[in-house]
Structure formats: structure tokens, C-alpha cells
Structure 1
Amino acid sequence: MKRVLSVLSLAALLLGLSAAPASATVKQDRDRRHQYRVTAYGDDICGNPGTFYYVLTGREHYTWDGPMPHHGNGSGVWRWTLVYEDPALGTRTGREVFNWTATYWPDGSWKTVQSTWRLRAGSLRFFQIDHQVYDRQGRLKQETFRNRVEGC
């Protein structure tokens, strides 16, 4: 599940960056709202395999001073259903809320990225925070990662 969350959060960030204008000479702000449907196979947080059916609704906001954005942020809500391989586990539905904020170097590469995830499904609770700092060459300089799982 952690791997699925990381892939989905990276996809949300990258899809938002594609909304950048070709060039800008003055400060610009842009908002984008979206809805995606995704099906993915993987393990839940407790290690049980199954098929996830996601619906993501969210928004993103970017600010430009030049040809590339210098700040972005977004939030979203995943609603999902998980059908377990083991029929004894049945089906679980849940909701995840995520927020992210990022600053960019002048070439458009990430300078800092921070994301927060909160998940609730019945008695299962999951919280994750990830903060990353990159140098001018795009190398990760520092990462602070914490997560907490309750209810497995």
C-alpha cells in the first residue's frame, strides 16, 4: 500500500506540473481541478493482497514569475474500494486525504516537496508525512519521512 501511495502521489505531482504555460513574463496563478479513476493491484498497509478501485478528486495551484513555476500546492481526496484476494477478508472501503506543497528552482526542478497523507478505513488508520529537499542538480539532499499505522 505504501508503494501504491508513493506512486500515486508522485503521479499527482507530475500531472499537475504538465499544466505549466510555455512562457510567462508576469506573475501568473493557475488553478486546476481534476477527477481520475484508477485500478491497481497491490498489498494493503497490513500486507494483504487485493485489487484497489480508486476515484481521486483534487485541485492544484501553481504560481509563476517566469517560464517555470516557483511554487505549487494541492490537495485531494481518494475514495477507494479494496477487494481482497482472500474471500474471508471480504471488501473494504476507505477514504484518504492528501496535501502537498512544493517550491521549484528556476529551471522547474523541485527544490522542496512536502506531502501529508491521512487514511481511514473502518478501524484502520494511516498517517504519513514526507519532506524532501533537493540541490540544484536535482539530487536529494535531505528527507524526513514518518508514518504511523493503527488497526492491522
Structure 2
Amino acid sequence: MTVMTQGDAAAYLYAEGLMLDRLDFDPWLALYTSDCLFWMPAWRDDGTQTDDPDRELSLIYYRGRRNLEDRVQRIRSGFSVASAVMPRVAHMIGGVQLTEAEEGRVKLDSSFITNVHDVRSRATHAYFGRYEHELVLEDGAWKISQKIIRLMNDVVPTMLDVYGV
């Protein structure tokens, strides 16, 4: 399939969310291109987010799948205190819109709510915002070349990681 439909787009994003809910990192990492951008910009002020991850503050910023792989390895190692006891996570993704489509490339916008339950503190935190995905066709499969996470409630009461947004 070289053209993605609206239904395909929604199914793709739902599948990514479910992989994160299950902390199933290997297939999740396989969704990304080697040169991907995974970025959650910070808020410069109440109405403006940062727009240059190389020069401005970001809440999360990884360029290249190898950096995502490194983060997953640290999560799995047990040496990351924040990830010693993994949280329970549920992603709810909706409002998926196919905003651009051409042969072998699509852009998607969607909304999300993620509930993250910290087993240690017994606290549950909700995060919400918008996703901007860019997917490219690579070796016959759709891969994420860019994921921008626009977190709307950015007063983060606890540690926030790739699986929680």
C-alpha cells in the first residue's frame, strides 16, 4: 500500500498507542525510521511553544531511532530509578486526521489523553494534547519519520517518559 487511507491512519496510531500501553518496545521502535524526530516542545510562554529543538528547551527530544533505542535500553536496565517499577499506562487517541497525503508520505494530526498510574505512589496522572505524525513508506512499510507531541498540560507532577505521552 503506497497510499494511506483515513482508516489506515487511525489504525496505525491506535496500534502505536497500544504498544506503549503494553510497554512492548521492540515493535514500537520498529515503527520509526533511523533518522526520526521524536519531540515534545516546551512552552515558551502561556501561548507559544518552542519551535527549535536544537536551540530551545524541550520536554522530550530524541533525534534518530538509535537515541530512542538507548532510552528504551536504560528503561529496561533497571538502573533508571524512575523506571525501576514501570507505571501502568493507557493511551486514548482520537480525532485522527490525514492532513497531507502523497505517494509514500503522509502527515497525521490527532488528539490524545494518556493516563499514567505510578504503582509506587499510587497516584494517577493524566496528560493530554495533540500528536503530529509524519509517516513515510520505507521498504513497503509505513514508518514514523517525525512525531511531535504538543502537551497541553505541561505542569508535570512526576517524571514523564516516552511511554507516557
Give the shorter-chain TM-score range.
0.3 to 0.5
**Bigger proportion of residues as strand:** 1
Higher relative contact order (CA 8 A, sep 6+): 2
**Bigger proportion of residues as helix:** 2
Give the TM-score of the pair, scaled to structure 2.
0.37
